[in-house]
Amino acid sequence: MRSVNGYAHYGKIRIWGIKMFANRYVRTIILSRVLLQLGIWIRNYAVLLYVSELTNNNPVDVSLISVAEFAPIFLLGLIGGTFADRWRPKRTMVWSDLLSGLSVGAVLLAVMNGGWIALLIGSFVSASLSQFAQPSAMKLYKRHVPAEQLQSVMAMSQTLVAVFMVLGPVIGTFIFITFGINVSLILTAVLFLGSSLILSSLPRDEEEPKRGKASGFIKELTAGLHYMGASKTLRTLSLTFSAVGLASGLTQPLQIFLVIENLGQDKQFLQWLVMTNGAAMLVGGAAIITLAKKVRPQLLLLIGLLVNAVCTIGMGASTQIWLTIIFLVISGLFYPCIQGGIQTLLVRNTEGAFIGRVSGAIMPIFMGMMVVGMFISGYLKDAFSLLGVFMVSGVFVIIGAFLLLPIVVKKRSKAEAGSASG
C-alpha cells in the first residue's frame, strides 16, 4: 500500500512538473538563464585567472575584479529596478543580454591589443545591465506564472544557481586553461547573444501604463521606497535580509581560516568544501521544488534560517573534516529554503507595478550589509577568535529568523481563520 501511495505521489509531482514547464515563459526564461549563467561563470573565471597570471597575483588588482562585479548592485540596484517597472520586461531582458554580448566583443578587441583593464570595465558593464534584466524576469513571472506554481519556479531558479556554483568554476577554469582568454571571451559573447535570441521568442510585451514624462523618474523611485516602507511584510523581509547579509559577510572572508586553522589543511582544500556545499544546494533546491506547494514560503524561510544558524556555529567549532562536511551538506540542503522563501514572499506581496523597484532595493540591502560584515570580520577575528566570529554570525541569522516571526504568525492565523470559515 505504501509503495502504491509513493508511486501516486511521484506521479502527481511528475504531472505538476510537466505543467510548470509547459508554461512558455518559465521554459524560455530558465533556458535563457542557463546560457547566461554559463557565460557569466566562463567570463568570471577567465578574468580572474588571466588577471592573476598577468599581475603575478597582485591582491589589489585581483580585488578590483570583485569591485567591478559587485559595485553595480550598490549603484544601480534600485535605479535598474525603477527603470524595469517603467520599461517592457521582455524588451529590457533582450536588450540587456544583447548589449552584454556586444560589450564582451568590444572587450575581446581591447584584450587582443594588450589592455587587460578592459576586462574589468566589461565585467562592470555586464553586471550593470543585469540590474535591469533581473527585476524584469521577476516581473514576467509575476504576470504569467500561476500563484500555485510561483514558489516552485523560484526554487527552480535557485537550483539553477546551485548547479552553476558546482559546475561553473570547473567549466570556467577548464576552458581558460585549455583554450585561453580569447576563446573564453568569444564563448561568453556567444552565450549572451544566444540568451538574447531565446528571450526574443517570447510574445510581445503588454503595453505599459503611461507614466508621464521622464522627469517623474525620481518620483517613481521614491514611491517605490514609500511602498516598501508601508508594507509590513516587505519591511520585515528587508530587516531579515539585513541580518542575514551581515551574518554572511562575517563568515565569507574567513572560510579559508576554517580550512587552515580548524582543519589543518592547505588553502586548496577550500574548493572541495565549496563544491560540496554547492552540490547539497542542488539537491536541496530539487527537494524544495517538490515541497513548495505544501509548505508556506515564510515557514520555509524560517526553517532555513534556523538550520543555517546552527550549521554556521557548528562549522566554526568543528575541527574534524567529516563533521565540517556534515554541517556544510545540511546547510546547503536548507539554503534554497532561504532564497526561495524570500523571492516567493517578495513576488507574492508586491504589486506588479512595483516589483522591479522592490526587488532592485532588497538586493543592495543584503549586499551592503554583507560588505559591512566582510569589512569588520578580520578585526573581530583578531579581537576574539574564529569560533567567536562564527558564533556572532549564527546569532545574527537567529535574529533574522525572530524578526520574521510576526509575518509567520500572521499568515498562519489568516490561514486558520480561512479554514474555520470554510
Is residue 235 predicted with pLDDT exceeding 50?
Answer: yes
Residue where a domain stops, chosen among 172, 201, 230: 201
pTM, 2 dp = 0.68
* 343-363 pLDDT, tens digit each: 778 777 787 777 777 777 777
Task: Give the pLDDT mean for 60-81.
Answer: 70
Q: Are residues 143 and 248 located together in one domain of the fold?
A: no
Q: Are residues 23 and 77 located together in one domain of the fold?
A: yes
Q: Are residues 363 and 252 located together in one domain of the fold?
A: yes
Among 40-54, 287-301, 333-347, the range scoring the smallest mean pLDDT is: 287-301
> Binning pLDDT at 50, 70 and 90, where does residue 405 land?
confident
pLDDT, position 410? 67
Q: Are residues 102 and 57 located together in one domain of the fold?
A: yes
* 296-319 pLDDT, tens digit each: 888 888 999 999 999 999 999 999
- The percentage of residues in the chain with a pLDDT greater than 90, rounded to a whole number, is 18
Residue where a domain stops, chosen among 201, 236, 261: 201
Q: Tell whether 69 is covered by a domain.
A: yes
Is residue 66 predicted with pLDDT exceeding 80?
Answer: no
CATH number assigned to the domain comprising residue 40:
1.20.1250.20
Write out the residue range of the structural domain in which residue 324 sits: 222-407
> Binning pLDDT at 50, 70 and 90, where does residue 215 land?
very low
Is residue 4 predicted with pLDDT exceeding 50?
Answer: no
Q: Are residues 393 and 296 located together in one domain of the fold?
A: yes
Q: Are residues 228 and 373 located together in one domain of the fold?
A: yes
Q: In the 3-class helix/strand/coil scheme, how is the chain assigned residue by residue?
A: CHHHHHHHHHHHHHHHHHHHHHCHHHHHHHHHHHHHHHHHHHHHHHHHHHHHHHCCCCHHHHHHHHHHHHHHHHHHHHHHHHHHHHCCHHHHHHHHHHHHHHHHHHHHHHHHCCCCHHHHHHHHHHHHHHHHHHHHHHHHHHHHCCHHHHHHHHHHHHHHHHHHHHHHHHHHHHHHHHHCHHHHHHHHHHHHHHHHHHHCCCCCCCCCCCCCCHHHHHHHHHHHHHHHHHCHHHHHHHHHHHHHHHHHHHHHHHHHHHHHHHCCCCHHHHHHHHHHHHHHHHHHHHHHHHHCCCCCHHHHHHHHHHHHHHHHHHHHHCCCHHHHHHHHHHHHHHHHHHHHHHHHHHHHCCCHHHHHHHHHHHHHHHHHHHHHHHHHHHHHHHHCCHHHHHHHHHHHHHHHHHHHHHHHHHHHHHHHHHHHHC
Q: Are residues 181 and 231 located together in one domain of the fold?
A: no
pLDDT, position 230? 82
